[in-house]
Structure 1
């Protein structure tokens, strides 16, 4: 009996009870919270410079195996990065690519938007590359003299309108195509927000068979607005001029891109080369702005 009493006393001391009564045991306190490590990200300037140099070099090697002459320019409105080769070569024909210029120049001159007939002509020009509509609009703007004035107004220094009625012989450079796109996106040149929205909207809805070119730089969910130009050059050894310029915008990037070529053996070869350059740029662009991580300062300033 004495032994049982001693055992019960021991049990009371250990559990707070004896017999069949169950005593609630409080759980241990919560585990100590883990302290997150403070890390800061900084641009890796040296790695970015090397990545850009590698891309330019790889494009140059690709172009060395392609026929004809190819020049390009790209500017990212998000990162501010600009790359290119032959950016100011201004003797490459725009062909149908000049139709956007005509529409912009007429909108700037009107200062009030288009009437129904002009809007219909603009749509046929940019979405369908309709030459008769372009002839009519070229005449309404006043031909090459009016176009020269418009180019000076928006700061295009390497673009020359075609002579007489030959708007398709307008020549331009990749850097000027990027400047033209920047006017459409950012404003300027007497174009209202509604004018710019009209032009970009048409460039975003070109016919499916004309949506080739710089669109090859787009990722799955990017928005693409573009205009292409292509024309045979029977007096230049029977070759072709093929070009494409436009905007490719999406998460983390807003690219203004122009790729132009001439002395192409055929239209298909020019398109393939233009898309090859655009695809290399689009695929590798995100790697051109690398970052490095460092611990936060242990003694921050008060």
Structure 2
């Protein structure tokens, strides 16, 4: 039996294991010395995310192709509908224009002329309408009241005064109806858009911002049963200001003339649209045609200005 003082022959493997264990004890005990704070691990920061730089461009090629398809589809739709149909569209945000027969000016606008009457009256009166005239104006635009239109047409000065007004504001394709027949006013889709631009932007004609706001405000609040037409181009949440016209044409094969024009405004869009029809077999057919055109333009307008993205240059020129 070996004595206590005898060296043990542990072999090289056993000696290495004992040395490592002893070192571990030494390190552990060294970290527990009195008065010393424990060593805290270093904080590792999360990597910073760098935003990817991209440039956005309008894709002209794709936009032109989409425009060609839309124009072709609109033409096909119009050919398949009865009567005569013309329209004009202009988006003030993108500059996109569309049209078919937009300068034809021998189509009556019917009640669409009521906006003209109010604008001309405000221009002549320097915005000073009395309470009775303001009531007539509201009934004429919002309810399309014909008696109110008769009264204000007379106060404007009839067809002669209306011709002067059209000349001042640049409506070269609009002719007032004869005598007291304001509903026989002939106009073009292009002139309807010119009128809308005067109401939106001002210019010649003597209409103040308050005048223009009054007319557009009434057009935004037409009765619900008269809110059909170009409003079909609106997306949820868009604001619509419009005026419609409709009248039987007993001397033209018992057909109808149906018209609608207005402004559809919302995010990234300020669309002016006018659609005029005549020789329609009925009022409902004319409305369907107008709304078919408006809906096609409204739902596909954003396809006409597609964009593409590219990464920013890595070595910008100083």
| TM-score bracket relative to the smaller structure | over 0.9
**Aligned partners of 1:23 and 1:76: how far apart in 2?**
70
1:10-43 superposed Cα distances (whole Å, 9 cap, x missing partner): 465699748xxx9655156224334333110011
Instruction: Give the CA RMSD over aligned residues.
Output: 2.3
Question: What is the TM-score with the length of structure 1 in the denominator?
Answer: 0.94
**Aligned partners of 2:213 and 2:169: how far apart in 1?**
17
Aligned to 2:294, what secondary structure does the other structure show? helix
Aligned to 1:274, what secondary structure does the other structure show? helix
**Aligned partners of 2:282 and 2:119: how far apart in 1?**
30
Aligned to 1:222: 238
Aligned to 1:73: 88
Query: Of 200, 206, 211, which residue of structure 2 is paired with 1:185?
Result: 200
5 Å-filtered alignment, 1:148-297, equals: 148-188=163-203, 189-297=205-313
Q: Which runs of 5+ in 2 are unaligned?
A: 1-14
Aligned to 1:30: 45
Q: Does 56-65 or 249-258 show the bigger shift?
A: 56-65
Change (3 A) 1:13 1:268: same
How many residue pairs get aligned? The number is 301
**Aligned partners of 1:12 and 1:236: how far apart in 2?**
112
- Greater C-alpha Rg: 2
Q: Which runs of 5+ in 1 are unaligned?
A: none
5 Å-filtered alignment, 1:50-89, equals: 50-89=65-104
Shift of 1:117: 1.1
**Aligned partners of 2:104 and 2:276: how far apart in 1?**
10
1:115-136 superposed Cα distances (whole Å, 9 cap, x missing partner): 1111111111001111111111
Q: Does 48-57 or 169-178 show the bigger shift?
A: 48-57
Question: What is the TM-score with the length of structure 2 in the denominator?
Answer: 0.89
Change (3 A) 1:267 1:38: same
**Aligned partners of 1:290 and 1:235: how far apart in 2?**
47
